[in-house]
Amino acid sequence: MTSMRIAAAFSLLVLCGCNATGRPDYMAEAVSPEQSATPSPHEALDRRISHYARTYRIPESLVHAVVQRESKYNPEVKHGPFWGLMQIRHETARSMGYSGPARGLLDPETNLTYATAYLANAYRVAQGDERRAIRLYAGGYYYEAKRQGLLGELHSANDFGEFATASVADDAPAR
């Protein structure tokens, strides 16, 4: 009887070390090419940020700094009148060419399209100074642009045409 208990206990110990695949938990499973080709949400967001930084000709690091500061990369954040990744106001997005409802700014693609256009203007008014551009983005650049005589040189997202509204998938390198 004692030997049966020992055998049963030993069998339980062996089974505890295995998972449903029959491999011990510490052994990694191979990733198929299909699984590795699908970008993580963070990778997809990085691609979008790269796309819009190139489109609006501003440093990618500047867009990342604003996204980190405003939402910590959470596209669903809403604080008062501020929406999405870059916490843009609906009125501000409309001034950049957006015509949809405020809730539409929770879509990362939409938010980046219009908020990055606004950031690009702040960057131009800041004359390439990233820290100053972030301050102007957060507080508004209109009066500073007016003081510098730059109002006629600022652009909406629509001024960039199809490049601003192109899907990031269209911008991906061919494989």
Q: Which residue has the tokens 């008014």?
A: 125
CATH 3.60.70.12 assigned to domain 41-171? The reply is: no
Per the structure block, which two tokens stand in for 90? 């609906």
Task: Report if pTM > 0.85.
Answer: no
Average pLDDT on 34-45 reads: 73
Banded model confidence at residue 40, pLDDT cuts 50, 70, 90? confident
What confidence tens digit (pLDDT) does each residue in 71-129 have? 999 999 999 999 999 999 999 999 999 999 999 999 999 999 999 999 999 999 999 99
**Is pLDDT at 7 greater than 60 in this prediction?**
no
- Report domain extents, the chain: 41-171
Determine the longest span between alpha carbons in the chain, in angstroms: 96
**Rounded Cα–Cα distance for residues 142 and 148 (Å):** 10
Report the distance separating Cα 19 and Cα 76, nearest Å.
36
| Predicted confidence (pLDDT) at residue 32 exceeds the cutoff of 60 | no
Q: Say how far residue 129 (Cα) sits from the centre of its chain.
A: 22
What pLDDT band is residue 162 in, cutting at 50, 70 and 90? low
